[in-house]
Amino acid sequence: MNKQIALQDLGFKDYKQIWDYQETLFKAIVDTKIKNRREAVGLQTKNYFLFVEHPHVYTLGKSGDLSNLLLNEEQLTEKGATFYKINRGGDITYHGPGQVVGYPILDLENFFTDIHKYLRFLEEMIILTLAEYGLKAERSDGETGVWLDVGTPFARKICAMGVRASRWVTMHGFALNVNANLGYFDNIIPCGIRGKAVTSLNIELGVKEVSMDEVKEKLLKHFANLFEAEFF
């Protein structure tokens, strides 16, 4: 079992470019697993963790409803945004500047073979990170991601999640609003959930900007502890 994870901070990159890159890494891991099963060669599978920040983009999961995008093609262009139908679970979400996006591409057979546990660990990483900023974040029954003030009229989502897994290999991941422009969420019904607000860490803390690098460090610390993993 290889619990080492190659960390790559890709900076500010186009969504489609990084989606294609994820697919390349994902396929290489799956191909290694197929070769191991066919030829009993015992090759070690690799794990990756990608950090990235995207230009304005809306993505719709395979179970999503296109009507949750409230813009037409012309309006998307006016907003400087792009749109993609993609192969993760979940409905529609937004990515953009000021958001820490993380894509763990893991062979879960190196850790544990339980997708439910994997999602809960991703949520827990976010919850523990936000606790370091004095925020009580939590899960909301039947709604993936991480929320504040669950069960009150003020419930708001701070982190969206959507993953794909095949042969126990994961891709896609989470998007944590750190210094995000929340106005872009007004153009969708986020995750197909009506009447629920979204928020960003800087707004919750009442500051203009939170250090993205500091947030990433905290996320990695909690991820490594939860998954008993080591980054390099």
Establish whether 88 is an annotated binding residue. yes
Q: Is 159 a catalytic residue?
A: no
29 is annotated as contributing to ligand binding: no
92 among annotated binding-site residues: yes
93 is in an annotated binding site: yes
Residue of 191, 201, 215, 220 marked active site: 191
Helices and strands: H and E segment counts in the chain: 5, 12
Question: Is 160 labelled a binding residue?
Answer: yes
- 174 a known binding residue? yes
Question: Is 155 assigned a ligand-binding role in the annotation?
Answer: no
Beta strands 99-105 and 4-12, pairing class: unpaired
89 in a labelled binding site: yes
185 marked ligand binding residue = no
Nearest to 231 by CA among 6, 45, 47: 6
Give residues with Cβ within 8 angstroms of 3, minimum separation 6.
47, 110, 111, 227, 228, 229, 230
Is 118 marked as a binding-site residue? no
Determine what percent of the chain falls in helix, strand and coil, rounding each to the nearest 5.
35, 30, 35
Q: Is 105 flagged in the annotation as binding?
A: no
Residue 5: burial class (beta carbons within 10 Å; 0-12, 13-18, 19+): buried
11 is in an annotated binding site: no
Alpha-carbon span 187 to 94, nearest angstrom = 9
How far is Cα 103 from Cα 114, in angstroms, rounded to an integer?
18
Is 91 annotated in some ligand binding site? yes
90-117 CB burial, b ≥16 within 10 A, e <16: bbbbbbbebbbbbbbbbbbebbeeeeee
Annotated binding site for substrate: 88-95, 160-162, 173-175
Annotated binding site: 88-95, 160-162, 173-175
Q: Please list the active-site residues.
A: 191
